[in-house]
Amino acid sequence: MNPNDSNPPAVVTENLTKVYGSGNTEVVAMKDVSLRVARGEVIALLGPSGAGKSTLLTAIGLINPPTAGRIHIGGELVMDADQAMVDLRAFRRRHLGFVFQKANLIPFLSAVENVQVALEINDATPRAAHKRAMELLEYLGVADRANYLPDALSGGQQQRVAVARALANEPSLILADEPTAALDSHRGRQVMQLFAKVAHERGAAVLVVTHDQRSLDVFDRTFEMEDGNLKSRQMPDVSIAKDSLHHN
Amino acid sequence: MALILYTLTLDKIHDIALLKLIGARNGVIIGLILQQALLMGALGYGLAWWLGQFAFPRFPRLVVIEAPDLLMLGGIVLAISVLASLLGIWKAMSVEPNKVLS
């Protein structure tokens, strides 16, 4: 990584490995995974259950430290094996957005308050947070549901609110783990298109773990994980970038 | 009171993990639990004072509670509320953000 690079990739992983357990119970969930994702790219991560997709996603999300390897986000080395190089919680707050299979909205807060929370924990004033939260809900087409509790929203609307929360602090990287698994195909596609829109219009990189093969055309690149190994699914020159990383 | 606060914290453990995941500082989470503890303490204190207005005149012996007593009782309630929240705070601090995924 060149620290003087003015436009560094959104995320670079170098030889990420994750081993659970030890001895006879050792399981290698992820092996030497190297990946480079540029800003504004939408990446799909496919593979069967237990292939290591979520392990990779949570490692990049700085909530599941790898056993070995490095993670750079926005040009900054944030994780070296299991050693954090930055304050991880503060880094997540400022640079990462998360979307999950379930929307994981706080049930006793309205849609707009769920988005506001993400802003207020990043030191926004309540007034500024409300304004920005409303802008995001407007952008995602759910402003008319701003004052509804999550229970009163459909699955697709809840997921849009979750995307709004993920976008709240203008993250450089959005990580989504099976975000459409609880949605029908139409709403699932809408959410995937939303990610593409967010990536292309706002310059955030989006990494989506999915089983949904029907929306793959939305993604810029597609990778597949199997037995902890990452493989490019479409383009041979994309950055499963061991070589290029070493050259850099 | 500690048990109630602990149970309320357990009820919200998923939301607390989510807050940690999206980067909330420990201070924010501790503040939420303390706020709940102090609110419960204040409610209990107010309710006891109100009930006392009716109950004390019916006591066989005269009960006199003056301002300094109320102040001292308020201090005791405050201390109990803070102490009662410690178990819930400990639980909240020990939860990992990846609990959101489970």
Give the Cα separation of B11 and B15 in Å (integer): 9
Amino acid at A60: I
Amino acid at A244: S
ipTM topping 0.85: no
Closest approach of chain A CAs to the CA of B15, in angstroms? Answer: 6
A4 belongs to a structural domain: no
A101 belongs to a structural domain: yes
Give the Cα separation of A11 and A91 in Å (integer): 13
**Identity of the residue in B96, B98, B100 whose CB atom sits nearest the CB atom of A104:** B100
- pLDDT band, very low/low/confident/very high, at A134 (cuts 50, 70, 90): very high
Give how many domains chain A has, as a whole number.
1
- pLDDT band, very low/low/confident/very high, at A92 (cuts 50, 70, 90): very high
The pLDDT value recorded for residue B63 is 81
The pLDDT value recorded for residue B64 is 83
Contact B21 A54 (CB under 8 A): no
**Chain A residues bordering chain B (beta-carbon distance below 8 Å):** 54, 58, 61, 63-64, 89-94, 96, 98, 100, 104, 106-107, 117-118, 121-122, 165, 177
**Identity of the residue in B14, B22, B96 whose CB atom sits nearest the CB atom of A93:** B22
Contact A92 B22 (CB under 8 A): yes
Q: Which residues is A230 bridged to in the sheet?
A: A225
Average pLDDT per consecutive 10 residues, chain B (102 residues; last block may be shorter): 87 93 93 93 94 88 87 94 92 89 73
- pLDDT tens digits, residue range A170-208? 899 999 998 888 778 887 888 888 889 889 888 899 999
The pLDDT value recorded for residue A35 is 94
pLDDT > 60? residue A120: yes
Contact A118 B22 (CB under 8 A): yes
Mean pLDDT of A126-136: 95
**Long-range residue pairs from A65-69, CB within 8 A, at least 24 positions apart, any chain:** A66/A16, A66/A17, A66/A18, A66/A30, A67/A17, A67/A18, A67/A19, A68/A15, A68/A16, A68/A17, A69/A13, A69/A14, A69/A15, A69/A16, A69/A17, A69/A32, A69/A33
A chain contacts of residue B22, beta-carbon cutoff 8 Å = 92-93, 98, 117-118, 121, 165
pLDDT > 60? residue A246: no
pTM > 0.95: yes or no: no
A131 belongs to a structural domain: yes
Range of the domain at B87: 2-101
Strand ordering across the sheet containing A27-37: A27-37, A11-20, A68-73, A76-80, A83-84
Give how many domains chain B has, as a whole number.
1
Give the Cα separation of A7 and A41 in Å (integer): 14
- pLDDT tens digits, residue range A95-117? 999 998 888 999 999 999 999 99
A2 belongs to a structural domain: no
β-pair type (A27-37, A11-20): antiparallel
Residue in chain B closest to A98 (alpha carbons) equals B22
B chain contacts of residue A58, beta-carbon cutoff 8 Å = 98, 101
Residue in chain A closest to B100 (alpha carbons) equals A104
CATH number of the domain residue A117 falls in:
3.40.50.300
The pLDDT value recorded for residue A6 is 66
Q: Are A228 and A64 in contact (CB under 8 A)?
A: no
Range of the domain at A111: 11-247
Residue in chain A closest to B28 (alpha carbons) equals A121
**Chain B residues bordering chain A (beta-carbon distance below 8 Å):** 14-15, 18-25, 28, 96-98, 100-101
